[in-house]
Amino acid sequence: MTDQRSQAEIVRQSLKRRYRKERRFRAYGILAIAIALGALLTLFTDIIGKGYTGFLKTTITMEVQLDGEMMYLDDPKDERQIKMADFVEPLVQALIKEVPGATEEDRKQIRELINPYASVALRDALKANPEWLDTSRTMTFLSHTDVDVYVKHAGDDAYSIKLNDQQKAWVDELQERGVIETSFNDVFFSGGDSRDPSKAGILGAIVGSLLTMFVTLILSFPIGVAAAIYLEEFAPQNKFTDFIEVNINNLAAVPSIIFGLLGLAVFINLFGMPRSVPVVGGLVLTLMTLPTIIISSRAAIKSVPPSIREAAEGIGASKMQVVLHHVLPLAMPGMLTGSIIGMAQALGETAPLLLIGMVAFIVDVPDGFFDSATVLPVQVFLWAGSPELAFIERASAAIMVLLAFLISMNALAIWMRKRLERRW
């Protein structure tokens, strides 16, 4: 009796300590989740904070005198003349007029406020509208990247402002008068890569990504579904089938860069395919995403209840008819969901594409499957490696676009799973 009581006593005495331990353990769990979610939050705020200014461009709107004599141009239709003509001078003169107190002596400093590509824009405008010659027009041009950085990040220590005090005062003045403005950065969405951050855009990378994804999708979805059907429905129980399964499971865990090595050795060096084209990128990503698609398609096929198969077989359908007419349509939503997730993975993949040469500096928007191209994540990588902070800003903006694509793809997959998938 006494012995038992003392034991109960021991337990009671230890309870406080044990409950404390319990609470501590629970707190560890909460802490762990907080760390993980905190990291997610930090990542997002960091990228948005660094990149939202990438969606803004700085422009200069001014009255430009398209004086033929000043430009050494009397016929804008003449190719030779337009090549030789001076399109910088009218811009400089126009800006000198806008800046109060600026004189001809300041022209070098004034010139540094205008984007180097502005003269190209002016030339193109004049080429398209020859009648503008010897008139005066209000036109909008991109500012120089240094001005762009100053306007957006004047107080930020991380950015080095390259303008001198005189130029800063001018820009402040011009901003007040509405000559220099920031607006939505349409250049970012309508151009290819450029050496000049103000001119750099992601359209080329987006088109490259779409082309690559198209190749990946049309190859990996049918092949993945066919392989899943074979393994689930037709494969005999033997060593060879086991071997195929082991291979698929291992390929799913092979680092993506190894697929890049495969692409380089087989598609480029053995088959002599060109480097940095969407077709080769798509082939490599196909091999990489196939295991994911096969595994999820198999799960979808498995979830179709045997009663469906038995019913179809019972009324005389052949095995192939059972599969193609009954199992496949029922498993399709699950297969599509798995494929969208696989495609999202492929869209964010960078490493294998670096090895097959999709890192080249490509200005033009690709216009075909065999045209040199880059993809969105590689563009992010290229810009992130630049020492210029203006490019870092663009890289974060490009990340936001990439994440928007990925999140909408995943949301679509979740929606499809909820909406279309049948529970048996």
CB 291 → another protein: shortest distance, Å? Answer: 7
Closer Cβ to another protein, 8 or 128, answer by number: 8
Give the nearest distance from C-beta 172 to another protein in angstroms: 29
Q: Per-residue contact track with another protein, 266 to 305, x per CB under 8 A? A: x--xxxxxx------------x--xx--x-----------
By CB under 8 A, the residues from 36 to 55 that bind another protein are 36-37, 39-40, 42-43, 46-47, 50
Contact residue for another protein among 7, 9, 10, 33 (CB under 8 A): 33
What whole-number distance in Å separates Cα of residue 391 and Cα of residue 199? 10
Q: In terms of Cα–Cα distance, which of 145, 324, 367 is closest to 230?
A: 324
Q: By CB under 8 A, tell whether 331 contacts another protein.
A: no
Tokens of residue 9, six digits? 């006593």
Determine which helix (DSSP H) or strand (DSSP E) holds 137, and give its type and residue range. strand 136-142
Eight-class DSSP state of 234: I
| Residue of 73, 340, 395, 401 interacting with another protein (CB under 8 A) | 395
Task: Identify which of residues 161 and 223 has a Cβ nearer to another protein in the complex.
Answer: 223
Q: How far is the CB of 310 from another protein (least distance, A)?
A: 19
Which residue type occupies 195?
R
229 token code pair: 């059907």
Residue 129 binds another protein (CB under 8 A)? no
Residue 136, helix vs strand vs coil: strand
Q: Distance (Å, rounded) from C-alpha 83 to C-alpha 64?
A: 20
**Which of 10, 26, 75, 154 contacts another protein by CB under 8 A?**
26
- 3-state helix, strand and coil shares in percent for the chain, rounded to the nearest 5: 70, 5, 25
Tell me how many residues contact another protein (CB under 8 A).
Answer: 93
Piece of the chain touching another protein by CB under 8 A; list 99-107, 148-156, 175-183, 341-349:
341-349
397 contacts another protein (rule: CB under 8 A): no
Q: Which is nearer to another protein, 184 or 271 (CB)?
A: 271
Which residue, 167 or 339, is less far from another protein as judged by CB? 339
Place of tokens 């030339």: 123
- Residue 384: CB minimum distance to another protein, A: 5
Cβ atoms of 127 and 119 within 8 Å: the answer is no
Distance, CA of 272 to chain centre: 29
Query: Position 210: which residue type?
Result: L
Question: For residues 133 and 244, which CB has a smaller minimum distance to another protein in the complex?
Answer: 244
Please, what is the Cα angle at 302 between 300 and 306, to 5 degrees? Answer: 125
